[in-house]
Amino acid sequence: MENDDRGSDVSTRLTYLLIGGGIGAIIALLFAPKSGTELRGDIADVTRKGIDKTREGARYIGDKAGDYYGAVRDKAGDWAGTAKDTAQQKRGQFSAAIEAGRQAYNEEKRKTELSGATEAKPTYPPQGEMS
């Protein structure tokens, strides 16, 4: 029975050795030094990919900024329109108040002139003087 355990132990160890060797070979291939031309090509590819990602991000940010700008512009336009309407309404009320004041002044002035004219009218011939 001891031989059986030894045989299975050896096969397990051999299996682990083969798996470890395969993993080591794959890692060696991944990290193997490359020639200068290959390395420069890889660097150029990574750089191009980075530039493309950056352009894509910038385009996305530009689109979002445009959307936000449009929304803010519309809101500001609404607020400005409301403020303009309010200012025109207040201007109309102010003009109406000035006109009402002007009319009241003219009316009182006319009344005063009419009443003053009748009160201050000299009588002819003046009393006490007879010519």
pTM over 0.85? The answer is no
Question: In Å, what is the CA distance from 112 to each residue of 83, 92, 121?
Answer: 43, 30, 13
Band of pLDDT at residue 128, cut at 50, 70 and 90: low
pLDDT in tens, 45-74: 888 888 898 889 888 888 888 898 888 888
Question: In Å, what is the CA distance from 34 to each residue of 21, 72, 131?
Answer: 22, 54, 141
Answer yes or no: is pLDDT of 42 > 50: yes
Which residues fall within 8 angstroms of residue 131, CB to CB, at 6 or more apart?
A: 125
pLDDT the model gives residue 103: 92
Instruction: Report the 3 state secondary structure along the chain.
Output: CHHHHHHHHHHHHHHHHHHHHHHHHHHHHHHCCCCHHHHHHHHHHHHHHHHHHHHHHHHHHHHHHHHHHHHHHHHHHHHHHHHHHHHHHHHHHHHHHHHHHHHHHHHHHHHHHHHHHHHCCCCCCCCCCCC
Q: In whole angstroms, give the CA distance from residue 5 to residue 20.
A: 22
Name the more confident of 131 and 93.
93
First to last CA, the chain: 173
Answer yes or no: is pLDDT of 119 > 70: no
